Chain A
Amino acid sequence: DAMVIQNPRYQVTQFGKPVTLSCSQTLNHNVMYWYQQKSSQAPKLLFHYYDKDFNNEADTPDNFQSRRPNTSFCFLDIRSPGLGDAAMYLCATSIGSNEQFFGPGTRLTVL
């Protein structure tokens, strides 16, 4: 089945220790998104790639960066995680402006 895959599902890191989350898709969608979702809150868009074009949200901290080496893969790098960065990180894909399909998420814990 075509799908969005996120690895790892659970990530534990230490305060200030860089961490990378990965997302891959077999849907061949041209847009890939990264969201942050904290408990009982709406998903918050961090950035997205429309084809190869990177689009950063104005309020996304500089601590967060992303890479999309090819159509299928996208990475979220958190350079120096703080306690406030503990959250569920969701990857989603879409064809243009059509509905977005989400992966299972990566739960990040910062100690």
Chain B
Amino acid sequence: EDQVTQSPEALRLQEGESSSLNCSYTVSGLRGLFWYRQDPGKGPEFLFTLYSAGEEKEKERLKATLTKKESFLHITAPKPEDSATYLCARSPSNDYKLSFGAGTTVTVRA
């Protein structure tokens, strides 16, 4: 069974304190690795897709990277509005359905 594990479960940061979130998966073979942001009571908002090891994508203070078995979401100099739950999801090479991790809840204090 394909398992997607995100760590840490929760992250409390001071405004401006950079950090990284981890997403790892157990089954080899990757069609795509997806990052989403989810605010409380709302649907996930698409952030990035990564397809191959070594690939990087950036958007404002967020940067996603991918290795063969894990992905990182780096948050640089976060602001309070970056507070949210960040979900990663993986589609294996033989399927297009997504397996989601449980998310990392990030809280940024001013």
Contacts and interface: CB of A to CB of B under 8 A. Distances in A.
Interface stretch (A11-19, A66-74, A79-87, A101-109): A101-109
Interface residues of A, number: 25
Most chain A CB atoms below 10 A, which of B32, B45, B98: B98
B49 interface: yes
B41 A100 contact: no
Given A48-B97, A97-B31, A104 B42 contact: yes
A99 interface: yes
B44 A97 contact: no
B86 interface: no
Contacts of B34: 99-100
B43 A97 contact: no
Contacts of A45: 97-98
B102 A41 contact: yes
Contacts of B44: 43, 90, 102
B94 to A, nearest CB: 11
Contacts of A90: 43-44
Contacts of A8: none
Interface in B28-74: 31-32, 34, 36, 41-46, 49
Interface string A84-99: 0000101010101111
Contacts of A96: 96
Interface of B: 4, 31-32, 34, 36, 41-46, 49, 87, 91, 96-98, 100-103
